[in-house]
A and B are shown apart, each in its own frame.
Chain A
Amino acid sequence: MEATLLDPRMFRIVAAAMALAAFVGLNALVLVYLERKIAGHVQRRPGPFEVGPHGLLQPLADALKLIGKQLFRPAGADALLFWMAPVVSFIPVLPLFLPIPFDPDLVAMHVEPGLLLILAFTGINVLALCMAGWGSNNKWSLLGASRAVAQSVAYEIPLLMALLAVTFMHGSLNLSEIVEAQGAWPWQWNAFIQPVAFIVYFTCAVAETNRAPFDLPEAESELTAGFHTEYSGMGFGLFFLAEYANMIVVCAVATALFLGGWQGPFFSGWWWFLAKTYALLMVIIWFRWTYPRVRFDQLLNINWKWLLPLSMVNLMVTALVMKLF
């Protein structure tokens, strides 16, 4: 064990973990600003404008405010579950970034089954929502949590099927290898070879991250705030941070698997990766201010009646085409 603790790569890993933690925090600030600004312009108003030039310091002010708010636990709540939930929702976020290749060299760790690692750790988030919903002893929270469980288990299946179709083509779960197998130009990307898988994956990713129009676990017009109704200050802040980090992860995976990762016309590099990831993030934000929320039976039926059969047919067609050519 000592030999592995003194592993020369250990320093690199700790540095990578710190850097990624900073990246997650910084990204949350940027995304809060982007979301509020885009929301504003979609609704023909300027959005945040007062704090700093063009409201640039607004997310910082928000973060400070969140840290300064009193932490409450309602009298009837289960103390252990209530306080564990936000922490549990945030912890698995960092390992999600482990195998993501921002660049051929800019990757925390080359994991052979990298995609499997990501899929395994994304499953933990729903447990945290469940703990929050049950531990709060609040009716809104409990309803939100039961929706969250039904929704995220349902959308996991077509998501896996869509990813399987792409990984079948490459015979690998290593994200770097899949990126390298695609070319620099858009028509060489997997999104154009596997358009059905891309659409199914992206729809499921929006649902898995509980974003509108699939944001039923925290539907504010029906359930106040769903599973995090009872959380104040940083308790809410951690859920919020985890949700934004999960958005980045699903978009980064989509970029690596479907949009050619760091490869792009003229000059490949991490800037292409970030540009594509942010473009996808803005599409998700755009969805939120464009589509009305679906009803819960519609949400489940879209998944089981459309996305799942579609992704299974897509997988079979992929397997067949691979044999024919």
Chain B
Amino acid sequence: MPPHLLSDYLFVLVFLLVGLVFAIAPVLLAAIITPRGVGLKRLTTYESGMAPIGQAWIQFGVSYYLFALIFLAFDVDVLYLFPVLVAYGSFPWRDLVGIALFVGILSLAIVYAWCKGVFEW
């Protein structure tokens, strides 16, 4: 790895560290100066004032999970377009045909999901 690249990564790390300090400092300050009341119901899970009914960690139906599957298809494929944009324009017509094929096949994912009725629920 070239040295300038290494220091570039180091700079991102510095920003992350400053972000960490900036995030933790007010929480620590609050933890020191705030009151520490302990009451009977203080640590109950909030459920609009009622006594909570059961746990939240249960199985429940997320009816839009199919959207997540389409997302996977798209997100992985859109990544491939980023290198393309840097090289685009270096061929007469070949890159346009390539992109048209790629985006065309990608858009079939929406057509398929639409026909399957994923978007109606």
Contact = CB atoms under 8 A, between A and B. Distances in A.
Interface of A: 1, 3-5, 7, 9-10, 13-14, 17-18, 20-21, 24-25, 66-77, 86-87, 90-95, 97-98, 108-109, 111, 116-117, 134, 136-142, 146, 149-150, 153-154, 156-157, 160-161, 164, 167-168, 171-173, 224, 229-230, 233-235, 237-238, 296-297, 300-301, 304-305, 308-309, 312, 315-316, 319-320, 322-323
Contact of B7 (A4, A230, A322): A4
B86 interface: yes
Nearest to B64: A150
Given A68-B33, A86-B23, A91-B23, A157 B71 contact: yes
11 contacts: A4-B3, A71-B30, A86-B23, A86-B27, A87-B27, A91-B23, A138-B45, A157-B71, A233-B30, A238-B23, A300-B64
A76 B18 contact: no
Contact of B34 (A69, A87, A98, A157): A69
A153 B65 CA distance: 11
Interface in B17-38: 18-20, 22-24, 26-27, 29-31, 33-37
Given A138-B46, A160-B78, A237 B11 contact: no
A75 B107 contact: no
B23 A90 contact: yes
Contacts of B23: 86-87, 90-91, 238
Chain A contact surface mostly: helix
**Interchain residue pairs A-B with the least CB separation, the first 6:** A17-B18, A94-B19, A90-B23, A75-B43, A4-B7, A91-B19
Interface string B4-18: 001110111011101
Contacts of A320: 96
Given A164-B78, A312-B106, A136 B56 contact: yes
B11 A138 contact: no
B33 A14 contact: no
Interface in B76-121: 78, 81-82, 85-86, 88-89, 93, 96, 99-100, 103, 106-107, 110, 113-114, 119, 121
Nearest to A303: B67
A139 to B, nearest CB: 5
A48 to B, nearest CB: 22
Given A87-B27, A171-B85, A323-B93, A21 B18 contact: yes
B26 A234 contact: yes
A287 B115 CA distance: 33
A220 B15 CA distance: 33
Nearest to B35: A70
Q: Size class of B's contact patch?
A: 35 or more
Nearest to A152: B71
Nearest to B11: A13
Nearest to A93: B19
B45 A4 contact: no
Contacts of A71: 27, 30-31, 34
Interface centre among A9, A149, A234, A300 (most CB of B within 10 A): A234
Nearest to A123: B75
A111 B8 contact: yes
B30 A69 contact: yes
Contacts of B3: 3-4
A304 B86 contact: no
A7 B103 CA distance: 44
Contacts of B88: 168, 171, 319, 322
Given A75-B44, A301-B119, A322-B88, 18 more contacts: A3-B3, A13-B15, A67-B26, A68-B30, A68-B34, A74-B43, A94-B22, A109-B11, A138-B45, A142-B56, A150-B64, A150-B67, A154-B71, A157-B78, A224-B48, A233-B34, A309-B107, A316-B99
A94 B34 contact: no
A309 B111 CA distance: 10
Nearest to B104: A316
Interface in B30-73: 30-31, 33-37, 42-48, 55-57, 62, 64, 67-68, 70-71
